[in-house]
Amino acid sequence: MKINEILKWASTQLAESCERPKFEAELLLAYHLDKDRTYLHAFDENEVTELEEYKALVARRANHEPYEYIVGEASFYDIELTVEAGVLIPRPETEILIDLVAEIIEKENIKNIAEIGVGSGAISVVLARKFPELNIIATDICDTPIKVAQENLEKYAVVDRVEIRKSSILDEVSESLELVVSNPPYIADDFELEKNVVAYEPKEALFGGRVGDELLKQIVLDVKAKNIKHLACEMGYDQKEPMTQFFNEIGVESYEFYKDLAGFDRGFVIKLT
């Protein structure tokens, strides 16, 4: 079959599951042929004979499996992270959290931080690459993120400065820290997510409890109890009000919320001591 015929066929297969079926058909064919997309356009009359594997990739995507799990890689910030089922695919909005944390690290010359819920390692790897003198302890409760994050630390040669520890929140962390960053699970247990998310991404990375903000609030309490000065977290678009009330109840020195690129409330930065 010619490349242009293959792409036509695949676009039809992906029409229901993808917003941009032709683009995704191209991405998967480029991945299958180990070429880039420009090759497909330049040589669209070329014949491809071995198509069974490509058809299997298209079938997975047609069944709503995220592209990143199919190819085992996700673009994030300035890196390509290894990902697999069991690990959250890092989201572009988390890049905003990183930039806010980077500002504090730079301004206060911070050297020791922790990340809660390391996932693929997205936040810790980017911060460790940005700040060559920064040491990070990154926790997670699940084995697959711990394994995959370790692979990504090795891939980007930051393994000597980022230690991954199996721990809930900071329970197993007694070291002195200046800042904590987290993109924790913050979705309410009964919230209806899109099929590609709920069927494939790990529940432990998504759901934060019956209301959704339970883990977020516990993180704030634990960081406060450990006398750590700064905390920056991602949160749900509808959690600004309950979190404001919570900060006022427990008493923090200052807090500020930030929005994502779509204009939704997406997180907060607080000073605790």
Ligand X SMILES: C[S@@+](CC[C@H](N)C(=O)[O-])C[C@H]1O[C@@H](n2cnc3c(N)ncnc32)[C@H](O)[C@@H]1O
> Which stretches of the chain bind ligand X, using CB under 6 A?
88, 90, 94, 116-120, 122-123, 139-142, 145, 168-169, 183-185, 204-205, 215
- Least separation, in Å, of the C-beta of 189 and ligand X? 13
Number of Cβ within 10 Å of residue 162's Cβ equals 23
Tokens 């936040």 — which residue? 123
CA distance 123 to 127: 6
CA distance 116 to 137: 9
> Which is nearer to ligand X, 110 or 170 (by Cβ)?
170
> Which is nearer to ligand X, 21 or 145 (by Cβ)?
145
- Least separation, in Å, of the C-beta of 115 and ligand X? 7
- Least separation, in Å, of the C-beta of 117 and ligand X? 2
Short-list 35, 21, 34, 117, CA closest to 67: 21
Q: Is the distance from CB of 227 to CB of 258 less than 8 angstroms?
A: no
Which segments within the chain are labelled E, that is strand? 73-76, 79-82, 112-116, 135-140, 162-166, 179-182, 187-188, 207-209, 230-234, 254-259, 265-271
- Least separation, in Å, of the C-beta of 263 and ligand X? 20
- Least separation, in Å, of the C-beta of 139 and ligand X? 5
Three-state DSSP class for residue 5? helix
Of the chain, the end-to-end C-alpha distance in Å amounts to: 66
- Least separation, in Å, of the C-beta of 142 and ligand X? 4
